[in-house]
């Protein structure tokens, strides 16, 4: 009973810290990349600031860490009885060379507030929807203080594909290595490695591209891991019924996926900073 309690506590701890990391097994967090223009030209400032605004039910009574005063906005919108304020978990917004990047927990409906120091002016765009997991936008700032945002998301993003390939390589290496160790210690056939490889090749694209469409990060983490473990476990068992039991197949799949989730996520995060 004590061991079970410790296992539950450990699992809860792992899931509580997962949203803070990029995982090779889970894929990237939602993001937006925005090109900012002023009167049709690039912003002259080498750096400036932007923040996504979300319409919340009540006025905020807090100030985010590192939020500049000019972007501490609270604008009442009577039509929906809500306040346009900075989206609390939309990270980023330190813009350079007319480009801004924001990510993590992004609102599906938002406005963009942009502060340009050389003009000492805040521009607030029209409202727009975010329907893609990774989106591109262009914002045109006008000298009269208005701003127009429009979506420019391409059908296929090169950076998402390259990140997926990187995650795929990391995941395959870790899961095959873990599987090899497990099969050696349990004296099971090494031929099972073939089904481990094929199972990962099938499950990872689904985890990477399909589950993030849910857009609710904790739910994505939970459902994608359940799917990956269950699918790979049954896939391995189905192709190797004479060599492995369903119980051992689930144990193998669980160990592999936890290893790729935690170790692979850490490696992916480090590589993302380096390259």
Q: Is residue 96 part of a domain?
A: yes
**Last residue of some domain: 130, 151, 172?**
151
> Do the domain assignments include residue 110?
yes
pTM given for the model: 0.54
Q: Tell me: do 123 and 194 sit in the same domain.
A: no
Q: 117 and 216 in one domain?
A: no
For the segment 202-230, the average pLDDT, to the nearest whole number, is 81
Whether the pLDDT of residue 137 is over 80: the answer is yes
- Indicate if 250 and 268 belong to the same structural domain: yes
Q: Give pLDDT tens digits for 31-50.
A: 899 999 999 899 989 999 99
Which of left, alpha, beta for 252 (phi over 0: left; psi -120 to 50: alpha)? alpha
Tell me whether residue 22 is in a domain: no
Greatest extent of the chain over all pairs of C-alpha atoms, in Å: 74
Instruction: Tell me what the mean pLDDT of segment 175-179 comes to.
Output: 95
**Which residue is listed with tokens 């160990």?**
255
- What is the sign, positive or negative, of the torsion defined by CA atoms of 56, 58, 59, 63? negative
Given 113, 128, 151, the domain boundary residue is: 151
C-alpha–C-alpha distance, residues 197 and 126, integer Å: 47
**The pLDDT of residue 158 is above 80:** no
* Range of the structural domain that residue 147 is part of: 31-151
Answer yes or no: is 11 within a domain.
no
Strands in the chain per DSSP E: 31-38, 41-42, 47-56, 75-77, 82-86, 90-92, 94-96, 99-104, 109-116, 121-125, 128-129, 134-141, 146-151
What share of residues in the chain are helix, strand, coil (percent, to 5)? 45, 25, 30
Residue 221 · residue 21 · CB < 8 Å:
no
- What does pLDDT average to over the chain? 83
* pLDDT of residue 237 exceeding 70: yes
Task: Looking at the structure, tell me whether residues 244 and 180 fall in a common domain.
Answer: yes
Residue 22 near residue 270 (C-beta atoms within 8 A): no
Same domain, residue pair 237 and 183: yes
Confirm whether 42 is domain-assigned. yes
Nearest by Cα to 175 from 234, 115, 252: 252
Q: Report phi then psi at 132, rounded to 5.
A: -100, 155
Closest CA to 97 of 47, 27, 136, 163: 47
- 169 and 129 within one domain: no
Mean pLDDT of 127-135: 84
Residues 246 and 225 in one domain: yes
In a domain, 115, yes or no: yes
Verify that 133 and 226 share a domain, yes or no. Answer: no
CATH number at residue 134: 2.60.40
**Do 83 and 181 sit in the same domain of this protein?**
no
97 with 137, same domain: the answer is yes
Q: Is the pLDDT of residue 195 over 90?
A: yes
**Is the confidence at residue 23, as pLDDT, over 80?**
no
Q: pLDDT category, 18, cuts 50, 70, 90?
A: very low
**Which tokens in the block code for residue 160?**
């998402």
Shared-domain flag, residues 141 and 193? no
Give 5's DSSP letter: H
For the chain, how many structural domains are there in total?
Answer: 2
CB atoms within 10 A of CB 128: 17
Number of helical H runs and strand E runs in the chain: 5, 13
Structural domain contains residue 6: no
Alpha-carbon distance of 230 to 23, in angstroms, equals 18
Among 116, 151, 186, identify where a domain stops.
Answer: 151
> Is residue 209 in a domain?
yes
Same domain, 161 and 256: yes
């Amino acid at each position: 009973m004590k061991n079970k309690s410790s296992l539950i506590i450990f699992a809860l701890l792992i899931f509580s810290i997962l949203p803070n990391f990029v995982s090779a097994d889970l894929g990237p967090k939602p993001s937006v990349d925005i090109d900012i223009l002023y009167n049709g030209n690039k912003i002259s400032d080498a750096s400036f600031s932007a923040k996504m605004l979300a319409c919340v039910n009540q006025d905020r009574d807090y100030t985010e860490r590192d939020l500049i005063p000019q972007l501490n906005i609270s604008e009442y919108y009577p039509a929906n009885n809500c306040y346009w304020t900075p989206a609390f978990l939309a990270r980023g917004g330190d813009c350079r060379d007319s480009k801004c990047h924001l990510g993590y927990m992004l609102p599906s409906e938002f406005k963009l507030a942009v502060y340009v120091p050389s003009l000492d002016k805040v521009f607030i765009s029209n409202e727009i929807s975010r329907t893609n997991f990774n989106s591109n936008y262009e914002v045109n700032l006008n000298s009269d203080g208005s701003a127009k945002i429009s979506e420019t998301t391409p059908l296929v993003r090169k950076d998402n594909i390259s990140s997926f390939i990187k995650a795929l390589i990391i995941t395959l290496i870790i899961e095959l290595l873990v599987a090899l160790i497990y099969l050696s210690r349990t004296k099971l056939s090494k031929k099972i490695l073939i089904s481990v490889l094929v199972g990962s090749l099938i499950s990872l694209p689904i985890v990477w591209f399909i589950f993030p469409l849910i857009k609710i990060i904790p739910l994505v983490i939970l459902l994608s891991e359940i799917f990956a473990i269950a699918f790979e476990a049954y896939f391995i068992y189905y192709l190797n019924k004479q060599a492995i039991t369903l119980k051992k197949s689930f144990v193998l799949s669980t160990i592999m996926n936890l290893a790729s989730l935690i170790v692979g996520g850490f490696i992916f995060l480090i590589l993302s900073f380096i390259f």
